[in-house]
C-alpha cells in the first residue's frame, strides 16, 4: 500500500500546510524549497479517485490525480499569500492540463486548500490576478478542498537536489 504522506498539520510549532499542483512536481518542489519559512516538502499525487497510485499509474492520465507538492511552512516567516504569489509565477495557470511539453490532467494547475481561510485567500488571489490582466487567457487553475495526498516514490522526493534539473520524464 502506498504511503498517504500528508504532512502532520497539528504540531507544536504552529506550522501550516498547503498543497499545490503546477505541472511536473520536481520543479515545483524545488521552487518552494528555496523559500525561507518553508520547513519541508513532499511530492505526490492528489485530486483523483484512484487509491494508492504509482507514478506509472498517474502518467497514464487515468487516475484523476495531479502531480502535486505538499508544503509545510512557518506563517511567522512566510505568508500563504506570499507562497501563492510564487505559485502563480512558476507556471502558466491559463493552460488546461498542460505545462510546457508535459501534457495530461496530471499536470493541471490546482490549489488544494486545507482550511476555509486558505480557500478564501486562494479565491481572492485568483480573482485579483484575473482582474490584473497579467495573462491574456482565462486562468483555469482549480481551487478545491484538499483530498487524500499520496506520497510519490522516494526517488521523486527532492529530485532536483539529488539529480539536478531536467525533464519530468525518466
Residues noted as catalytic: 24
Cβ atoms of residues 133 and 157 within 8 Å: no
What whole-number distance in Å separates Cα of residue 1 and Cα of residue 108?
25
Alpha-carbon distance of 48 to 56, in angstroms, equals 14
Q: How many other CB atoms are found less than 10 A from the CB of residue 2?
A: 15
Is the CB of residue 44 less than 8 Å from the CB of residue 20? Answer: no
Phi/psi of residue 99, each to 5°?
Answer: -140, 115
C-alpha cell at 102: 508535459
Alpha-carbon gap, residue 4 to 142, rounded angstroms: 22
Amino acid at each position: 500500500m502506498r504511503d498517504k504522506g500528508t504532512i502532520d498539520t497539528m504540531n507544536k510549532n504552529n506550522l501550516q500546510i498547503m498543497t499545490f499542483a503546477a505541472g511536473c512536481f520536481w520543479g515545483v518542489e524545488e521552487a518552494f524549497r528555496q523559500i525561507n519559512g518553508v520547513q519541508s516538502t513532499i511530492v505526490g499525487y492528489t485530486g483523483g479517485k484512484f487509491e494508492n497510485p504509482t507514478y506509472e499509474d498517474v502518467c497514464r492520465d487515468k487516475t484523476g490525480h495531479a502531480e502535486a507538492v505538499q508544503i509545510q511552512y512557518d506563517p511567522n516567516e512566510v505568508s500563504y499569500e506570499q507562497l501563492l504569489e510564487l505559485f502563480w509565477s512558476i507556471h502558466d495557470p491559463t493552460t488546461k492540463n498542460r505545462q510546457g511539453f508535459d501534457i495530461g490532467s496530471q499536470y493541471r494547475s490546482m490549489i488544494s486548500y486545507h482550511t476555509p481561510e486558505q480557500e478564501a485567500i486562494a479565491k481572492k488571489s485568483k480573482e485579483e490576478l484575473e482582474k490584473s490582466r497579467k495573462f491574456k487567457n482565462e486562468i483555469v487553475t482549480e481551487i478545491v478542498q484538499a483530498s487524500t495526498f499520496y506520497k510519490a516514490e522516494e526517488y521523486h522526493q527532492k529530485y532536483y537536489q539529488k539529480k539536478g534539473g531536467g525533464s519530468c520524464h525518466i
